[in-house]
Structure 1
Amino acid sequence: MKKSALILLPLIVFSCKKAVPMSEKKTDSVIVSEQSANTLPSDSQDLKINHDSLKTIQKIDSDADEIKNGQIIKVVDGEKLPLLIDEKFTDKNQKLVLKIRNYKKSSLKASILPQNNKMNIRFNQIKTPDGKFDGPFGRELSYEIPKNGEVWLIIGKNLMAEGEIAGDFSVRIE
């Protein structure tokens, strides 16, 4: 009995003893001066859209075909792709629905180019010609389209992130 008590006593004392946390000084392995030297132009807070590189892309004006309950609905012809659409959100609950009629390609590529890189905007959903919805996505979208017909791109606020929703942006569709 005494031997077992002598064996158990140090184990009990050791297991009940709380370890005092040591204050560790955590440092990042990347030095700030190196980080700023290695950033890309696309990492900057104010992303400038270079329209010169989009000369072959047709530009659509920002006059909406229809505005209904905060949704801006634009209808474009799939035969006119690639194109660039300039738009502006003035309210935090707005959405842009791009209806692409006569889409005949097997895949769709699109990207959102906000004037302010802090803008909280993304592709919320895509509706394929077979009636199926998919999403959410980010600012870049590459999607296989199962058959010819009308494709919808629904663009709006990212509910999982913070940032400004109002502002100017462009949507490039290829």
Structure 2
Amino acid sequence: MKNFLIPLISIFFFSCQQKENKIAPVSSSDSIVTKDSVTTNKIEEENKQTGDTIVLNFKDEKGFYTAEGSLDSIHPRIYLKFNNEYSGELNGKIIPTTGKGNIRFNQIIFPDNTSDGPFGMDLKINLTQKGDHIIVVGHSQMADNPFWGKFRVQLENKKQ
């Protein structure tokens, strides 16, 4: 029995040893591509919904902030966040994919935490403050049948 255990233990130790990995040195002429540099080149300029928030960073060719969002029972309100750099008139429009629906601009929150609203499916308001604004989109609680589904938002900020 003793003679049997010694070779078994020695085989076990030899099989558990890791082989040494040899890494070739990098010369100065080799280019190194990191994962971060690849992903930054592939960033698409889109305003996408993440949870209940859409951050409007990119304008399209016509100068509109456009984004697609969806309302459901988990996210009954969507928050549109954008940065206003100059005073002017803000025009907005909600276009439901179904054509009509109980959806509207509920409220706009200004950088000094004052607010205005409610509005309808169209928004026209003068912005006098610079900074981050938040627009709340949801269904009207005064009407029947809350809107659940996808919609498109267009915002245009005109200089005065």
TM-score under structure 1 length normalisation = 0.56
Deviation at 1:161, TM superposition (A): 1.2
Deviation at 1:86, TM superposition (A): 0.8
Q: Secondary structure at the match of 1:104?
A: coil
Matched, 1:75 2:55: yes
Among 147, 150, 156, the alignment partner of 1:165 is 147
Q: Contact conserved, 2:83 with 2:130, CA < 8 A, in 1? A: no
Q: Secondary structure at the match of 2:124?
A: strand
Instruction: In structure 1, list runs of 5 or more residues that go unmatched.
Output: 1-58
Pick the structure with more helix per residue.
Answer: 1
Change (3 A) 1:103 1:153: farther
Q: Secondary structure at the match of 1:60?
A: coil
TM-score under structure 2 length normalisation = 0.60
Q: Contact conserved, 2:47 with 2:56, CA < 8 A, in 1? A: no
Change (3 A) 1:106 1:130: farther
Deviation at 1:164, TM superposition (A): 4.4
Runs of 4+ in structure 1 off by over 6 angstroms are: none
Partner of 1:138: 120
Mapping of 1:7-156 within 5 angstroms? 60-64=46-50, 67=51, 72-77=52-57, 80=59, 81-91=63-73, 94-156=76-138
- C-alpha separation in 2, matches of 1:60 and 1:163: 30
Partner of 2:37: none
Query: Match for 1:74: what amino acid?
Result: I
Q: Secondary structure at the match of 2:111?
A: coil
- C-alpha separation in 2, matches of 1:96 and 1:75: 11
- C-alpha separation in 1, matches of 2:99 and 2:143: 13
Query: Match for 1:108: what amino acid?
Result: L
Q: Deviations over 1:21-48 (max 9, x none)?
A: xxxxxxxxxxxxxxxxxxxxxxxxxxxx
Identity %: 29
Deviation at 1:105, TM superposition (A): 3.7
